[in-house]
Structure 1
Amino acid sequence: FGDVSLMALYNVFGNVREPGHRLVLNGGISLPSGSINERFQGRRLEYSMQLGSGTVDLIPGVTYLGQAADWAWGAQALFTVRLGENDNHYRMGDGYRLSAWGNYRVTEWFGPSLRLDWRDWDNVHGADPEFNPATNPAFDGQKQRGRQLDLLMGLNFYVPHGVLKGNRLSIEGGMPVYQSLAGPNLKTDWLITVGWSYTFN
């Protein structure tokens, strides 16, 4: 498992129970539950292949939501701010994420969606003492920066009635339309995400 994130939302503008426009502040914290000591054949894996950051990270952000009839749209900006240095003497780079999406509710239980997701992350600060960039360029903390734009399509299934009312199943998949990696890091070919959520009334 990776790091565990806890998020809180504060509605600044708009009514959560009515169509229209809303502005929401995001506040989150990521706890270092993921390992930073993963190994393969006795050798510690590169920075990007570790399961966690090893640090407590702040995740502030802001979200805009709009809704009219069967259409819904929105945009979000999230930032990752790393605090301190982990036990292996480095800190992953700060980053930010920008997303914009829209979806159309075809029926009361189903709606497709389309989303653009931009990610930007910085180089590693410090260095793991077990890493020697001369033997593997992927060990170089100054070659970890990257940018990526993903185009994603989703299928959303809702439960509008009955004892399961409020449940939602989302399946989203897509691929990068732009990638820029500073060093010899692994590129992304495709992505798929399956999520479940429950809305309290």
Structure 2
Amino acid sequence: MLLRFALACCSLGCLASVSMADNFDRRALADKHAPAGIMGAHLHDKGEWMVEYKYMNMYMEDNQIGENKVSDATALGTATPVGPPGPGITVDGVTTNRGATPTQMTMEMHMAHIMYGASENVTLYTMAMLPSITMDHTRANYTDFTTHNSGFGDTAFGALLRVYSDECQDWIFNLGCSVPTGDIFRETSTPTGSPTAFPYPMRLGSGTFNARPGLTYRRFHDWYSWGAQFQTDLPIGKNYRGYSVGDEFRFNSWTSVLLTDNLSVSLRGEHLWRTEYDGQDPAANGTLISTNVEQFRGGYWYNLGLGAQYLFHGHYFNAEFVPTISQDLNGIQLETDYAFIASWSKSF
């Protein structure tokens, strides 16, 4: 009874704040989608399709322990050049980086996204991902090398379920998952000349089926809209290499402001939590490099998204610059500097 009363009050408040002419769809304006970094935040009419191409580039540089940046020399455990293997650095009781330390990483991601309105209350979706990862390193004798890995990542599937909607608000439940189509055991001959498994951050998938439930709330007003989303990524069991990636939890909130019916700008805040890996790949030698230490994969990040959305003759363009404002990393890891995300989509 109380829930019905609250929804009724919310609906009346919405009608008072949004002036709608007959047949006017407030959700058809430039802020109809969430900012580019958000997935699973809108529905489609029955029988409607949407195709989308999305691109992401994330840049990481310099090592960090907890909230503190450290030099390459500190990350290697020595302030003077020595021949490898070096003494390494001990963090949280784990000695690592005796062979080398990462100094920066760039991850590009190309994504193909399809959505289909199966009914007025259910929208189905799938997304294929193509990551490309490049990581620079320095050895204990301060010679450098670079490794690169690319190919198909894990594939996402799911259904967006309408929990409640009225003239200007939506509650949407994301019943999502991913399947392990990304390669998790590929070898490189860099830098030793003999086959060596890529470290954890350079692998293309999780190797497990992952559950990705989430919940989104959106509210539209005359000249602006806002929303909030809680999204998870939870591996089920361990992969064939004997480990599972960490659980991931994201909480986003955003506001979009209409400059015109076809152009909007957005501001988004994101809290991101990741837990450490469970288990261990026998090929991952954490004493040589920190990217192979399972305990050093978790942490907390706060990201700020500055975005713009443009609607042009049915084509929808969405872009966002996402600097990382603060981060508290488990163990020693590369710190995240920023990400750039852009997409094009069209419904028909």
Give me the TM-score of the superposition, normalised by structure 2: 0.53
Code of the aligned partner of 1:146: G
Q: Displacement, 1:199?
A: 4.1
Who is 2:125 aligned against?
Answer: none
Aligned to 1:32: 180
Structure 1: runs of 5+ lacking an equivalent: none
Checking the alignment, whether the CA contact within 8 Å between 2:290 and 2:333 is kept in structure 1 is no
Counterpart of 1:170 in structure 2: which amino acid?
A: N
- Please say if 1:59 is aligned against 2:251: no
1:11 aligned partner: 162
Partner of 2:227: 74
Q: Distance in 2 between matches of 1:127 and 1:110?
A: 48
User: SS where residue 286 of structure 2 aligns?
Assistant: coil
Q: Which amino acid aligns with 2:161?
A: Y
Percent sequence identity over aligned pairs = 30
Structure 1 residue aligned with 2:261, among 97, 101, 108?
A: 108
Q: C-alpha root-mean-square deviation of aligned residues, in Å?
A: 1.5
> Could you list the per-position Cα deviations for residues 159-200 of structure 1 after superposition, in whole angstroms to 9, with x for gaps in the alignment?
3x4xxx2x3110101211111111222211111001123345
Structure 2: tracts of 5 or more residues without a match:
1-129, 131-152
Q: Which has the higher helix share?
A: 2
User: Aligned letter for 1:5?
Assistant: A
- Is 1:197 the equivalent of 2:348? no
The separation in 2 between residues aligned to 1:195 and 1:8, in whole angstroms, is 21
**Structure 1 contact 82–93 (Cα < 8 Å) conserved:** yes
Which whole-Å deviations, capped at 9, do the CAs of 1:32-73 have from their partners, x for residues lacking one? 111212444232222122111011101001000000112110
TM (norm. structure 1) is 0.89
Q: How many equivalent residue pairs?
A: 192
Give the counterpart letter for 2:184 in structure 1: I
Write the distance in 1 (CA, Å) between the matches of 2:208 and 2:344.
27
Whether 1:22 and 2:175 are equivalent positions in the alignment is no
Distance in 2 separating the partners of 1:69 and 1:99: 22
Separation in structure 1 between the aligned mates of residue 290 and residue 265 of structure 2, nearest angstrom: 42
In 2, Cα distance between equivalents of 1:10 and 1:123: 31
The Cα offsets for residues 132-163 of structure 1, whole Å up to 9 and x where unpaired, read as: 2222233121221111110010111113x4xx
- The answer to whether 1:176 aligns with 2:327 is no
Cα distance in 2 between the residues matched to 1:129 and 1:48:
16
**Distance between the aligned counterparts of 1:38 and 1:146, measured in 2?**
26
Aligned partner of residue 184 in structure 1, secondary structure: strand
Bigger radius of gyration, 1 or 2? Answer: 2
Q: How many Å separate the matches in 1 of 2:333 and 2:203?
A: 13
